[in-house]
Chain A
Amino acid sequence: MDFLDLFMPAVWFVILALFLLLYVILDGFDLGVGILSLTSSDEQQRSVLMTSLGNVWDANETWLVLMGGALFGAFPLAYGTILHALYAPIYLMILGLILRAVAFEFRENSSQKRPWNLMFGLGSVLAAAAQGVCLGTVLTGIPTDSQGHFIGSTWIWLNWTSLLVAFTLIQGYVLIGSTYLILKTSGDLQRQHVRTAQIAAATTLIGALVITSTTPWVSSSLRERIFDHQFLPLFIALPLLGIALIVQLFRSLRLGQEVWPMVYTVLLFVLSFAGLGLLVFPAIIPPSVTIFEAHASITSLVFMLTFIGVLIPIMLFYNLYNYVAFRGKVPSLEQAD
């Protein structure tokens, strides 16, 4: 039983991290394409952008719903406390996602596309920004009482660190969106997104450097973790690896490669994600509440694992199949049907 007490919460932490990572990568490029749609010069280009998302946006967004449900089930205390603390940004994120999703549907059916285009783009920006704010706030820490209930102010999420993370996350989404479009388009549109990818890579790099270098000063618990002799080598290696990936990314963009820019970007996301995970683990409500204090009963975790764990490979398989069925360039309008 002792083993399960340690093992099951950790397994669920990893599963949640996996869901979140999949969400951030998949809906990340989705939101990125949404933001980039604001830069499209004409309706035909925008149609290509939208078509590139048509078959996947629902499934991509579902990883967030899944993450929410799994967090609720596996760590109910964390679910309540974190969402309570982040009331405003969560609500703004939902607003952004709703605006974006319905604009997508309504645009399809509308002859007057302009307002929906704007709503799609701005909804994407809002959702991305709000997610960044949430991430930033959770990392810097959520004040709790001894029972793990939120005790901070309503405006806890409004600070420089979370805004900086929000800005960087938007850039990251634009970067992964650009590299997705390099993969899915050709000609002018592709050249245009090589440029946006280069710009976004540069701004993401700046953001990431600022975040990395200021993190030790943001909270004492993060500082302790970074300079812990066990973790220090990792926290030196991760940024170096990141820089190497960015160099490779720039190189592949210059060479006009189609697949590699997205691969490098995804790896960058994975790397940043691993860094964040190492920073907080085993806390689930940083800085004070750990997964061992906030988890549901062990039998619940086992029960959930038998149902959801088995499904993870199956879900991955049919999502992958969706991408395989629609591989290749986005067809132009006349080929679309």
Chain B
Amino acid sequence: MPLDPLVLSRMQFALTAIFHMLWPVLSTGLAIFLVVLEGFWLRTRDPFYYRQARFWAKLYVLNFGIGVASGLPMEFQFGTNWAPLSEFVGDFFGAVLGFEGAMAFMLEAGFLGIMLFGWNRVPPVVHFLSTVMVAFGANLSVFWILSANSWLQTPAGGSFADGHFHVQNYFAAINNPFMLRSVWHMSLATVETSMLVVAAVSCWWLLRREAAEAIRRFFSFSLKLALVILLVVAPMQVMAGHESALQVAEHQPTKLAAIEGIWDTQPAGSAPEWSLLALPDEAAERNRWQLGVPGGFSWILEGRSRLSHDVRGLDSWPQADRPKMVGLLFYSFRVMAGIGIAITLLMAVTILLWWRRGLTAETLSQLPWLGWAWILAAPAGYLAIEAGWVVRCVGRQPWTVYGELRTADAATVLPAGEILTSLISFAVLYSVLLVCALWFGSRIIRRGPDLDLTAP
């Protein structure tokens, strides 16, 4: 098969995005956790909270550094590999990336130095303010990036003419139909995943027999705080996920058909089966086999026993207008939703046990499976996020700007060898990066907090 520059550019974007996404998640969610911890410290002046803040900040900074570095190719790829897209949507999309840089990223990076090294250099209130700014900047980044990505999913606020998008109303473009629920869904995801990491690290320490009493106290606290935050966030995320699915149903029918493996149009008034598992066959345009819940689809989509309107199947569009890789989309969606529900259930079980036995190091040592369940939930959080982005962006194909600009027309015409070189080196580099990040991250975790640290 001859190498197709379009395929290579897509692979490169997917590769860099999948790897990059692993890091900003923690630096966005954990930043909020750090604000809470430092808030405790500022109020009580108890060095316990100060040490909490210092320990978790170590994981934060490792993540932030790699996040910045691994994010650089994302921005520049729009120019190097997707120059026609840049020209087509630059008026709006480029402006939003500029806003992200000026409003969000610069804020985070500008105050980071003070947050990390400024403990003895600036007054505590200024330090707290810096931590707040870092967290605010990170979350503002989520807002702008998700607004930009949502606009590619549901372009609004202007018109397309002579190979350009002309903005008529910037606020309508920023506040496009997908924006609000996408930002909400992703913000919850960063907090949820970060708290899963905090809970997992805490459980790992609490399960260690040799951990000293002071260490147990330290991680009991961080576990509880993470669980309290999760108690709010995890159920909300299930709802936000459902809302996101509904907006897909409304605005991107091809994506809905692909994630549900629907090939034939389901008429209004019918009660179709909901497939739990299936083997979609794109050549035959049907599922080879499926395991389904009879009459379940309309309950999931509309909360009622019969569909109120037609749901189009994939075969109602010409092949060129629907996403490929239906199997990938079908299962990515199930992985994401399944993990979200599983974590909420784990949360509920833990709360129940907490209620009855008290959530202490002792409870965990009597119920090691509970600790291990939380430890396994941390990578599951990341997996859910990656799966969600696959659904979001692969499901949008064959469009880069949904319904307006095809991916094939968005790519720069480049020699395949050139993209292949950068693609392979990014693949190698990012793999090494991930291994190193896991290694150094686990080292920070294994070393544990410094309990002799004196507060400024």
Contact = CB atoms under 8 A, between A and B. Distances in A.
B117 to A, nearest CB: 5
B250 to A, nearest CB: 28
Given A72-B79, A87-B80, A105-B62, A322 B110 contact: yes
A61 B444 contact: no
A319 interface: yes
A59 B95 contact: no
B353 interface: no
A55 B112 CA distance: 7
Given A90-B80, A94-B76, A65 B101 contact: yes
A315 interface: yes
Interface string B111-148: 11110111111100000000001000000000000000
A94 B90 CA distance: 22
B444 A311 contact: no
Given A65-B75, A73-B98, A58 B64 contact: yes
B414 A87 contact: yes
* Secondary structure class of chain A's binding surface, majority of residues: helix
Interface in B82-121: 83-84, 86-87, 89-103, 105-107, 109-114, 116-121
A62 interface: yes
Contacts of A90: 76, 79-80
A300 to B, nearest CB: 4
A54 B100 CA distance: 23
Interface stretch (A95-103, A163-171, A194-202, A271-279): A95-103
Interface in A30-86: 54-56, 58-59, 61-62, 65-66, 68-77, 79-84, 86
A79 B94 contact: yes
B61 interface: yes
Contacts of B120: 337
Interface string A176-206: 0000000000000000000000000000000
**Which residue, of B99, B122, B433, has the highest number of chain A Cβ atoms within 10 A?**
B99
Interface string B422-442: 100100010001001000100
Interface stretch (A208-216, A249-257, A301-309): A301-309
Interface stretch (B65-73, B269-277, B328-336): B65-73
Contacts of B21: none
Contact of A79 (B69, B90, B418): B90
B101 A54 contact: no
A88 interface: yes
Contacts of B90: 72-73, 75-77, 79-80, 296
Contacts of B101: 62, 65-66, 68-70
B65 A315 contact: no
A54 B109 CA distance: 12
Interface residues of A, number: 63
B444 A58 contact: no
A217 interface: no
Nearest to B12: A91
Counting chain B residues whose Cβ lies within 8 A of the other chain, the interface size class is 35 or more
Contact of A80 (B66, B87, B100, B415): B87
B98 A304 contact: yes
* Secondary structure class of chain B's binding surface, majority of residues: helix
A76 B166 CA distance: 13
A55 B114 contact: yes
Nearest to B111: A318
Given A69-B94, A337-B120, A98 B86 contact: no
Nearest to B73: A94
A76 B102 CA distance: 17
A299 interface: yes
B75 A296 contact: no
A59 B116 CA distance: 13
Given A80-B84, A300-B95, A326 B113 contact: yes
A109 interface: yes
Contacts of A109: 62, 440, 443-444
Given A73-B98, A109-B440, A322-B110, A104 B86 contact: no
A321 B443 CA distance: 33
Contacts of A55: 112-114, 116-118
B313 to A, nearest CB: 38
Given A76-B86, A80-B84, A105 B118 contact: no
A227 interface: no
B79 A84 contact: yes
Contacts of B418: 87-88, 154
26 contacts: A62-B101, A65-B105, A66-B102, A66-B106, A70-B101, A72-B90, A73-B94, A74-B94, A76-B86, A76-B94, A80-B87, A80-B90, A82-B79, A83-B80, A90-B80, A94-B72, A98-B429, A99-B429, A101-B68, A102-B69, A105-B66, A109-B440, A296-B91, A303-B170, A315-B110, A319-B106
Given A71-B94, A75-B90, A97-B72, 12 more contacts: A55-B117, A61-B109, A66-B106, A68-B76, A72-B94, A72-B98, A73-B98, A79-B79, A87-B414, A99-B429, A304-B99, A318-B110
Interface of A: 54-56, 58-59, 61-62, 65-66, 68-77, 79-84, 86-88, 90-91, 94-95, 97-99, 101-102, 104-106, 109-110, 149-150, 154, 296-297, 299-300, 303-304, 307-308, 311-312, 315, 318-319, 321-322, 325-326, 337
Interface of B: 61-62, 64-66, 68-70, 72-73, 75-76, 78-80, 83-84, 86-87, 89-103, 105-107, 109-114, 116-122, 133, 166-167, 170, 412, 414-415, 418, 422, 425, 429, 433, 436, 440, 443-444
The 10 closest A-B pairs by CB, nearest first: A76-B90, A83-B79, A55-B113, A80-B83, A72-B94, A73-B94, A105-B65, A69-B98, A101-B69, A73-B95
